[in-house]
Structure formats: structure tokens, C-alpha cells
Amino acid sequence: MTVAALFFYLFAFTAIAAAIMVIFARNPVHSVMFLILAFVNAAGLFILIGAEFLAMILIVVYVGAVMVLFLFVVMMLDIDFSKLREGLNSYLPLGAVIGLIMMTELLMILTSWNIDPQAATVVASPIPDGVTNTEAIGLLLYTRYIYFFQAAGLVLLVAMIGAIVLTLHHRPNIRRQNIEDQIARHPHSAIEVKDVKPGQGV
């Protein structure tokens, strides 16, 4: 067994075990931590196949931002999950039926899947010589798909502005900062000097 195969089985086994623990962990904080572990091992699998850009995106975006945000939200809300699980038994029959249907479909796909004998000879990632995986993605993204990339950025910008507009409510009777009034204030109107005698209060 080569070193690459050893690391593949290590990352794959750890990722599957962490994914199972995400489902069966009783503490939601532990579930988020196991999900972070699953993402880290998935990034290791990406590195093994030469997709270092996807591995770094998985670490920086999902682990460094999304999962940490989930962790903070779960810890700050302090939700009583015991109350949420009170009606779980009533949904078990329906969930079991749906799970059985999905398992049957997966088994049908796996049993009817035939591997092409020539698949090993096909180049998995046709990258030009002397160009790394990250550089090849950048060349393709900013040349052939530049308009689609800009359109996706505009869609995300509109979504961000829409979220801000929907959540920003100007409630009355709330003291707000007025920059113009603060700049226009004069020292004589801003402070009042009082001569306090010894032994007297203000």
C-alpha cells in the first residue's frame, strides 16, 4: 500500500465517521465540531487528487466562516433541544419510509453501475503543462466565464442589499447618532463649567 492510498483511507474513514457523528451527536455543539472535522478530511481528499484550490476554499470558506458562524449561533441561542425532540416519535414512521425509499434507490444505482475499462486511461483533469490547478481555474474563470462570474457577483450583491433592506427597520422613539449636529456643536454649548465650592455637590 502506497502512502497516498494510506492517507486516502485515513481521510475517507475519518470523514465518514465524523459525518455519522454529526447525525447521532446529542449536543448540537458537538455536531458542529464533527462537521468541521468532516470538512477538514474532505479537504485532505481534494489535496490528494490535486485540487488544492477546492481544498483551500473548503477550509477558508466553510470551516473558517460558515461552520464557525453555525457554532456561534448554536452557542448564543442556547436552544433547549429536548423540547424540540418531544414530538420526534410521531415522525419516525414517515422518516423510516422515506429513508427506506432512498436506500433502495441508492442500492439500485450501485448495482447497475458499470465502470468503463478505459476509464483509467482517460485524463481526469486536462490541465496545460506547467500550470497549477489554481492558476488553470483562474485563467478559465476570468477569461471564458468572466461575464457569468460578474453576473453571479451582481446577484449576490442584490441579495445582500435585499437582506439589509428587509431587516433594517427605523423604529420611532429611538435615539440615533446625528453627525451634522455633532460637527456643528460649539464648545460653549457643549460643556458647562460650574464653580463647585468645597463641601458642596454639583
**Cell numbers of 77, please?**
441561542
Higher-pLDDT residue of 202 and 62 is: 62
- Helix or strand run (H / E) with residue 123: none
Q: Percent of the chain having pLDDT more than 90?
A: 23
pLDDT tens digits for 3-22?
888 989 999 999 999 999 98
pLDDT of residue 91: 79
**Distance between CA 38 and CA 5 in Å, rounded?**
18
Q: What's the sign of the alpha-carbon dihedral 74, 79, 81, 84?
A: negative
Residues 6+ apart with CB under 8 A from 23: 31
Under 8 Å between Cβ of 34 and 21: yes
- Residue 153 — very low, low, confident or very high, per pLDDT cuts 50/70/90? very high
Residues 6+ apart with CB under 8 A from 63: 36, 39, 40, 43
pLDDT of residue 167: 80
Single-letter amino acid code for the residue at 188: H
Helix axes 28-48, 3-24, angle to 10 degrees: 160
What integer is the mean pLDDT of 23-34? 84
What integer is the mean pLDDT of 26-34? 83
Question: Residue 154 pLDDT more than 90?
Answer: yes
pLDDT tens digits for 95-118?
889 999 999 998 998 888 777 676
Under 8 Å between Cβ of 14 and 45: no
